[in-house]
């Protein structure tokens, strides 16, 4: 399973210039344990629900007020693998988080699927990101693909 936990190509593409990050991904791969499956989750938990867990991203992207990961309890890689209870539970989690964090009235919800989509960890997860707005009104966090 170690070969299936991370996508080495994307890790190299995104983090190849960060020795510490590359070491951390190598440790994840060598452990053979998915960091987004319970009980392996080390990130601070925000909310546990029947089918989903919300955690703080560690470290958050730069220039963000809030950066959460929304993880399915079941190890799946593609949103099309979600069953109806997981689909409904996802939106329950979104409603909860949007109620708990009022600043999410301006947020980005990002999902990557598959190697070509840019995944690094092979466990479905959404990023819920609230960017900081600079003094000039610009938003320094880019939500684009790539």
Domain count, the chain: 1
For residue 29, what pLDDT is reported? 93
Does residue 40 sit within a domain? Answer: yes
pLDDT at 3: 54
Determine, yes or no, domain membership for 17: no
58 falls within a domain: yes
* C-beta separation of 26 from 114 below 8 A: no
Residue 81 lies in a domain: yes
- pLDDT at position 144: 58
Phi-psi region for residue 11, left (φ > 0), alpha (ψ -120 to 50) or beta?
alpha
Q: Is residue 84 part of a domain?
A: yes
In a domain, 74, yes or no: yes
pLDDT of residue 58: 85
Query: Does residue 53 sit in helix, strand or coil?
Result: strand
Is residue 13 included in any domain, yes or no? no
Residue-range definition of the domain harbouring residue 90: 34-131
What residues does 127 pair with on adjacent strands? 69, 110
Local structure of 131: helix, strand or coil: strand
Cα–Cα nearest to 49, from 91, 106, 6: 91
Q: Can you give the pLDDT at residue 146?
A: 43
Per-residue pLDDT tens, the chain, 146 aa: give them: 445 899 999 999 989 998 999 999 999 999 999 999 999 999 999 999 999 999 999 877 888 899 999 999 999 999 999 999 999 999 999 999 999 998 888 888 999 999 988 899 999 999 999 988 888 888 877 665 54
Whole-number Å distance between alpha carbons of 30 and 48:
28
Q: What is the dihedral of CA 53, 111, 10, 132, to 10 degrees?
A: -90
Give the sign of the dihedral formed by CA 92, CA 95, CA 101, CA 104.
Answer: positive
Within-domain flag for 140? no
DSSP 8-state assignment for residue 60: P
Domain of 70: which CATH number? 3.30.428.10
């Amino acid at each position: 399973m170690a070969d299936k936990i991370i996508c080495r190509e994307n890790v190299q593409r995104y983090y190849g210039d960060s020795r510490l990050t590359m070491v951390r991904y190598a440790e994840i791969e060598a452990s053979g344990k998915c960091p987004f499956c319970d009980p392996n989750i080390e990130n601070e938990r925000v909310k546990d629900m029947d089918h989903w867990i919300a955690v703080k991203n560690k470290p958050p992207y730069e220039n963000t007020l809030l950066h959460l990961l929304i993880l399915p309890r079941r190890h799946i890689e593609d949103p099309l693998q979600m069953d109806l209870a997981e689909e409904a539970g996802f939106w329950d989690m979104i409603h909860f988080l949007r109620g708990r964090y009022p600043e999410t009235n301006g947020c980005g919800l990002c999902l990557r699927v598959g190697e070509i989509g840019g995944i690094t960890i092979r466990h479905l997860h959404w990023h819920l990101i609230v960017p900081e707005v600079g003094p000039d009104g610009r938003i320094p966090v880019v939500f684009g693909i790539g």
